[in-house]
Structure 1
């Protein structure tokens, strides 16, 4: 009886979005089989795309956790940022190692593993520097907004107006949708 009440309603097909979502995933999974492509290249491509997207998603997640307009509360603490930053840097290093070796290393004579690691390490260090400055800038802007003004009703930061504000909170884009 508990199975019928709690589990089975979740397994039924919903009339709208869930059907489309499941059908789209099933169709995407069937495409390589219908075209008669070997499974190994498809799996390698999926791993490469997933590994390439991981550092980007981790970077954006770290920025979102520290953006005052997105969290609507106190941003992530410096300790948690310090724990998450090496994870993002390692993800950047691993992705840049794989991409550098596959995109450049195969086509350049004399390219070694040491060269790949040095190139990927420089990309990871550059990413760490940029991400650290970005986090410091966001935290500084959050601390400036944290002191409530006497005329303000709440200390809540302004809403996120565009994607520009996610990475550069004090930068106004050259053109906006709102025209005078």
Structure 2
């Protein structure tokens, strides 16, 4: 299945671009990776397994980028991540998690809200399946994995479009 996933593109929203004082929400960002799969592909768990095995998944999100042979994914050891750790959640729950992370008490700049809507919330609205990576616990945190204050990961499956979007929202 891994050979059937093709990386199509990426988007990166760095909150620092939208704020005048980086101490105010300037260390938050959202990274989106789009991968295409064949429409007749297997069930969602098979797609999650293919994503975990794809080189685009091998990113520690700490500035090093994708490392094709890398042992880390975000704050976690890659070897400990399995499809079963992804919990299916509703669009409403995903939006709630993200809105709470963005900060409901902050007056989000219009340009940032527009970019979040286009790159994240519109994708959530069209997804057939939304999966959220559960907290893996201390034993899964890699040697310097605590660089992220928050790490939220969603996998959005859009079967009609034949796309998976890996959405990571984090602070560092």
Same topology, TM > 0.5: no
The answer to which structure has the higher strand fraction is 2
User: Which protein has greater RCO, CA pairs closer than 8 Å, 6+ apart?
Assistant: 2
Q: Give the structure with the larger helix fraction.
A: 1
TM-score by length of 2: 0.22
Bigger Rg, structure 1 or 2: 1
TM-score, normalised by the number of residues in structure 1: 0.21
